[in-house]
Amino acid sequence: MNNHFAKPAHARDDWTIDQGWSSYTAEEHQVWDTLYERLMKVLPGRAAPEFLNGLKALDLHRGGIPNFETMSDELEALTGWRVVAVPGLVPDDVFFEHLANRRFPAGNFIRKPDQLDYIQEPDVFHDVFGHVPMLTDPVFADYMVAYGKGGLRSLRHASLKNLAALYWYTVEFGLIRTDQGLRIYGAGIVSSPAESVFSLEDPSPNRIGFDLERLMRTDYRIDDFQQTYFVIDSYEQLFRSTVDTDFAPLYAKLQGKFDLRPEDILPEDEVLNVGTQAYAQNGGRFAA
């Protein structure tokens, strides 16, 4: 997570760049539309209502890759957030600084038509389709600000890995309990048709109730479906647990401890379902 890499010459001090919306090709806009349509076949009844409402409110299906300026004007009116373009991953301090100031940094490039399902670096589809709809929800939007502020503080505690796990298991791969059953709010899941089905319906992964400290000790997979998903009861729970926790003593207690494997289940866990782990044991996405 020590991402020390060089800032491209065309980027500003805060690593933002122009989106360059008028430079996208017809083929690039088509990639957005294809991915959008694929996801809309699986997300109704699986994605959280707040995600689907956000998607509708921002109308992210006007044809092609959204224009960040237009989208940000609409988003800002709802929760004060804007989307800014960046060339790709940015250093942690830069990332947190943007979040703390209600700016979501989104890659401006889009994956190639021959790699629709798996990408290394977050592209505009993951960043915008995956993350931005939830930023229309006022409580979730405040959680993201609290996370950014917490991130800036964590840099002084050498506890970034713990805080990154929080982001990973909530913002990227979180599930929420609703009266209709489990729903997805994590951006890494909702931007993947296969993981949208896997996270809710496959018997392989564990599904465990959210517990801040427990989750901050848990390692995660960055290259395949998760082996455990953590389930929140509400966005208030997420927001409150972040704002009400004094992270300094927690970091002192954890001492950078990152001792739980992705598949571990503890006696004190609130287990919604014990995964078979068959998917991971069979080699995951690299299975023959």
**Interacting residue ranges for Fe ion, rule: CB under 5 A:** 122, 187
* # residues near ligand HBI by CB under 6 A: 9
In the complex with ligand HBI, which residue's Cβ is closer, 50 or 123? 123
Q: How far apart are CA 285 and CA 279, in angstroms?
A: 8
Handedness of CA 85, 91, 92, 97 (dihedral sign): negative
Q: Which of 31, 42, 86, 100 binds ligand HBI (CB under 6 A)?
A: 86
Half-sphere CA count of 45, side-chain side, radius 13 A: 4
CA 20 to chain centre: 24
Residue 167 binding result from Fe ion, ligand HBI, none, given CB thresholds of 5 to 8 Å by partner type: ligand HBI
Complex with Fe ion: residue 134 or 208, whichever CB lies closer: 134
Nearest approach, Cβ of 95 to ligand HBI (angstroms)?
4
Structure tokens that stand for 134 in this block: 């939830």
Select from 58-66, 89-97, 134-142, 262-270 the region that touches ligand HBI (CB under 6 A).
89-97
Asked if 165 is part of the footprint of ligand HBI (rule: CB under 6 A), the reply reads: no
Range in contact with ligand HBI (rule: CB under 6 A) among 90-98, 222-230, 239-247, 253-261: 90-98
Question: With the CA atoms of 230, 192, 131 and 226 taken in that order, what torsion angle do they form, in degrees rounded to the nearest 10?
Answer: 30
Residue 153 or 177: the one with the smaller Cβ distance to ligand HBI is: 153
* Phi, psi dihedral angles at 85 (to 5 degrees): -85, 140
Q: Are 232 and 170 in contact (CB under 8 A)?
A: yes
Footprint on this chain of ligand HBI (rule: CB under 6 A): 86, 89-90, 92, 95, 105, 122, 164, 167
